């Protein structure tokens, strides 16, 4: 840190250009957000000038507060426009099967899902133990919502080949206390679209809400369908779908902090709101979880949609579709690798059938070559896999991916699978989450070479350890690992 004093609050203020230089220096350690070689976390359309536009729009509204739509009508207007655009794209609005659709702009997919669960829960105040039914391929944010809102989670297995839940299993999981049934369009992990029409039908037959989590695919599936892809019905055109979430900070290519939660009608949305007048301060009514919220992300999303337009999104979807096909071909060309699912959206997900080819080592070898993929642990009979979220910016890189993958595979085979020390493997298999102390985890982290900071280059040993551990222990290890990373930088 600098001589002005260490950390975020120096004794004397630092000139603006220096501050920006410091941030840029910190950013140098990050994974590259642009350039089409990072297959998770970021969504890059590779459109020249779009970042500058979004940043300028963000700056215009950064200090505007979404707390009160009457004080800042600009924000209300942009939110209503975003909701209308999302609704229209997803089968709602005037002249459709869902003419009364309404919605809210939230801070992200997790918030959208939590609010969908809250609305469903609070619509049934008669229940003391409300429950939700979620396929295991559903996003972890449903479990988070269940946890935060004290709603019981009833998981439904997925077929190991199709990676989809069966509607019959969903129907069997519905109980008198069930307030919501979830389906994904598509699932994040595998990019597979659930049988939404059938799931919505069993939910409707039971008189239960059905939420379609289109956080990931809500802004790609409609364009892919227009381009001729066989996308099954998943939106408000399907009877029984009561709410849909779509993240604008994913495939709408808006900067982080914007998702939309749609309800088929205002009555379904009403229990999502929280109002409070039983205190001496301002009257409070919050449609979403946050109270004070920045107008920046909303203005940036509005600018992004206006600038790209339908023609822009169609063009970007075509590029993405072609990139997906090219990446899938590259995977098929490698003996020992297998696509876990045939790509039907914008995900490529593969596994290894070769015991000598350790996926976690492969992920590290791809990282070493500048390709950042996302490892997924083995779960409930499904093998470990590698996930690629594909965006339009990947298209110009596809030709380079095949050779890089082949090279990385050769390196991973040469290195061989991760050999966890026997005692570590035994520990992972036998340790109970309760027995895990911070000291034990610090020792584990040191033993795995994690030291004080994140070792982003070589994570195979960490992933192998997590992979060997049962689910609850995985969770505890993750909490303790991140707890180690999050400490004040004195």
Ligand X SMILES: *Cc1c(COP(=O)(O)O)cnc(C)c1O
218 binds ligand X (CB under 6 A): no
Residues 6+ apart with CB under 8 A from 63: 294, 295
CB of 45 to ligand X, least distance (A): 17
Residue 324 has a CB neighbour count (10 Å cut-off) of 23
Q: What CA–CA distance (Å, rounded) separates 28 from 38? A: 15
Is 473 strand, coil or helix? helix
36 binds ligand X (CB under 6 A): no
Q: Which two tokens stand for residue 315?
A: 């063009």
Nearest to 319 by CA among 240, 224, 234: 224
Residue placing its CB nearer to ligand X in the complex, 241 or 418? 241
Q: Which of residues 243-302 bind ligand X (CB under 6 A)?
A: 247, 259
Residue placing its CB nearer to ligand X in the complex, 352 or 376? 376
CB of 339 to ligand X, least distance (A): 19
CB of 357 to ligand X, least distance (A): 27
Indicate which single residue of 110, 294, 373, 376 sits in contact with ligand X (rule: CB under 6 A).
Answer: 110
CB of 406 to ligand X, least distance (A): 29
Q: Which two tokens stand for residue 83?
A: 């909701």
Q: Which of residues 181-200 bind ligand X (CB under 6 A)?
A: 184, 188
Query: Tokens 């045939």 — which residue?
Result: 342
Q: What one-character DSSP code corresponds to residue 231?
A: P
Indicate which single residue of 39, 43, 58, 216 sits in contact with ligand X (rule: CB under 6 A).
Answer: 216
The residue number whose beta carbon is nearest to ligand X equals 109
Site residue total, ligand X (CB under 6 A):
13
CB of 135 to ligand X, least distance (A): 11
Q: What one-character DSSP code corresponds to residue 212?
A: E
Residue placing its CB nearer to ligand X in the complex, 134 or 405? 134
481 binds ligand X (CB under 6 A): no
The site map against ligand X for 131-150 (x = CB under 6 A) is --------x-x---------
Parallel/antiparallel/unpaired status of strands 178-184 and 337-339: unpaired
Nearest to 460 by CA among 409, 402, 408, 419: 419
CB of 389 to ligand X, least distance (A): 8
Indicate which single residue of 66, 92, 109, 191 sits in contact with ligand X (rule: CB under 6 A).
Answer: 109
- Alpha-carbon torsion, ordered 427, 433, 439, 444, to 10 deg: 40
Q: What CA–CA distance (Å, rounded) separates 213 from 110? A: 10
Q: In 28-122, which ranges are continuous DSSP H helix?
A: 50-61, 73-89, 109-122
213 binds ligand X (CB under 6 A): yes
- Are 145 and 121 contacting, i.e. CB atoms less than 8 angstroms apart? no
CB of 199 to ligand X, least distance (A): 15
CB of 109 to ligand X, least distance (A): 2
Given the rule CB under 6 A, which residues bind ligand X? 108-110, 113, 139, 141, 184, 188, 213, 215-216, 247, 259
């Amino acid at each position: 840190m600098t001589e002005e004093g260490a950390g975020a609050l120096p004794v004397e203020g630092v000139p603006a250009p220096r501050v920006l230089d410091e941030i840029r220096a910190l950013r140098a350690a990050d994974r590259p957000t642009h350039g089409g070689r990072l297959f998770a976390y970021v969504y890059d359309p590779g459109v020249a000038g779009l970042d500058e536009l979004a940043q300028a729009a963000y700056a215009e509204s950064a200090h505007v507060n979404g707390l009160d739509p009457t004080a800042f009508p600009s924000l209300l207007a942009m939110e209503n426009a975003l909701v209308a655009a999302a609704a229209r794209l997803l089968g709602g609005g005037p002249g459709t099967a869902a003419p009364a659709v309404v919605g809210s702009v939230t801070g992200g997919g997790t918030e959208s899902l939590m609010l969908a669960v809250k609305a469903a829960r609070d619509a049934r105040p008669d229940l003391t133990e409300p429950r939700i039914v979620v396929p295991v391929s559903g996003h972890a944010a449903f479990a988070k919502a269940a946890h935060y809102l004290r709603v019981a989670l009833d998981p439904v297995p997925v077929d190991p080949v199709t990676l989809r839940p069966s509607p019959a299993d969903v129907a069997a999981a519905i109980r008198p206390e069930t307030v919501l049934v979830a389906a994904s369009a598509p699932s994040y992990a595998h990019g597979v679209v659930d049988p939404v029409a059938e799931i919505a039908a069993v939910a409707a037959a039971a008189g239960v809400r059905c939420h379609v989590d289109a956080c990931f695919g809500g802004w790609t599936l409609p364009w892919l369908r227009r381009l001729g892809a066989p996308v099954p019905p998943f939106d408000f055109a399907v009877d029984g779908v009561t709410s849909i979430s779509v993240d604008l900070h994913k495939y709408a290519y808006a900067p982080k902090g914007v998702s939309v939660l749609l309800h088929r009608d205002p009555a379904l949305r009403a229990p999502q709101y929280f109002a409070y007048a039983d205190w001496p301060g301002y009257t409070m009514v919050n449609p979403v979880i946050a109270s004070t919220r920045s107008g920046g992300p909303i203005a940036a999303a509005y600018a992004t949609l206006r600038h790209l337009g339908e023609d822009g999104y169609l063009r970007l979807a075509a590029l993405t579709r072609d990139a997906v096909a090219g990446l899938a071909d590259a995977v098929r060309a490698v003996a020992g690798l297998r696509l876990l699912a045939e790509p039907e959206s914008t995900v490529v997900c593969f596994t290894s059938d070769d015991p000598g080819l350790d996926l976690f080592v492969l992920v590290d070898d791809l990282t070493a070559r500048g390709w950042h993929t996302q490892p997924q642990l083995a779960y409930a009979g499904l093998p470990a896999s590698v996930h690629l979220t594909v965006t339009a910016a990947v298209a110009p890189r596809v030709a380079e991916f095949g050779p890089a993958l082949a090279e990385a595979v050769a390196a991973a085979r040469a290195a061989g699978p991760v050999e966890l020390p026997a005692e570590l493997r035994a520990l992972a298999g036998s340790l109970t989450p309760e027995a895990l102390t911070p000291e034990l985890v610090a020792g584990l982290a040191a033993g795995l070479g994690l030291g004080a900071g994140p070792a982003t280059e070589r994570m195979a040993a960490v992933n192998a350890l997590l992979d060997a551990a049962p689910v609850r222990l995985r969770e505890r290890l993750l909490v303790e690992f991140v707890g180690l990373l999050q400490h004040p930088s004195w």
